[in-house]
């Protein structure tokens, strides 16, 4: 499948740790927007959509959650539970985020400005377009 779990470069010393994201350093795209998801309780499923133009980098900067990814042919579940890992998702990937721990903060970076028109929120429509 076309996602990538990136082992980030960490600047760590006796002061603690720092991880930076910019194009071609821990992140394959030009970052245009960022948001974070928090206060999501364990039985909630978020996402359930695909994006025609957006690529994403997802980092569990606190706590943990699971990401189900689906490229129209295969499905996989990735657990994010360390701020050292960043999950890269390309365009046209159906995604669902769930099993958030109570302290979870999921940081998301993307290459686009928000545009509801590039969202596919219907799974059958996604399967039609991804072929």
What single DSSP character describes residue 117? G
Residue 112 contacts ligand TYD per CB under 6 A:
no
SS (H, E, C) 44-112: CCEEEEEECCCCEEEEEEECCEEEEEECCCCEEEEEECCCCEEEEECCCCEEEEECCCCCCEEEEEECC
> Least separation, in Å, of the C-beta of 34 and ligand TYD?
9
Residue found under tokens 């499905």: 75
Residue 46 contacts ligand TYD per CB under 6 A:
yes
> Least separation, in Å, of the C-beta of 3 and ligand TYD?
16
Stretch that binds ligand TYD, among 17-25, 30-38, 53-61, 63-71 (CB under 6 A): 30-38
Stretch that binds ligand TYD, among 18-26, 31-39, 62-70, 73-81 (CB under 6 A): 31-39
Residue found under tokens 């992140």: 27
Residue 47 contacts ligand TYD per CB under 6 A:
yes
Q: What angle do CA 99, 100, 101 make, to 5 degrees?
A: 110
Residue 37 contacts ligand TYD per CB under 6 A:
yes
Task: Name the catalytic one among 17, 49, 84, 85.
Answer: 49
Active site residue 49: yes
Residue placing its CB nearer to ligand TYD in the complex, 10 or 31: 31
At 118, phi and psi to the nearest 5? Answer: -90, 5
For 20, the token pair is 């930076």
Task: List contacts with ligand TYD (CB under 6 A).
Answer: 33, 35, 37, 46-47, 114
Query: What residues are labeled active site?
Result: 49
């Amino acid at each position: 499948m076309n996602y990538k779990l990136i082992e980030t470069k960490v600047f760590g010393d006796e002061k603690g740790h720092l991880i930076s994201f910019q194009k071609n350093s821990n992140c394959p795209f030009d970052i245009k927007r960022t948001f974070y998801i928090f206060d999501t309780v364990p039985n909630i499923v978020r996402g359930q959509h695909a994006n025609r133009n957006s690529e994403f980098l997802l980092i569990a900067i606190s706590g943990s959650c699971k990401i189900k990814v689906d490229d129209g042919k295969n499905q996989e579940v990735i657990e994010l539970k360390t701020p050292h890992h960043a999950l890269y998702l390309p365009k046209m990937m159906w995604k669902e985020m769930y099993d958030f721990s109570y302290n979870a903060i999921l940081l998301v970076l993307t290459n686009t400005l928000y545009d509801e028109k590039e969202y596919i929120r219907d799974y059958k429509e996604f399967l039609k377009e991804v072929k």
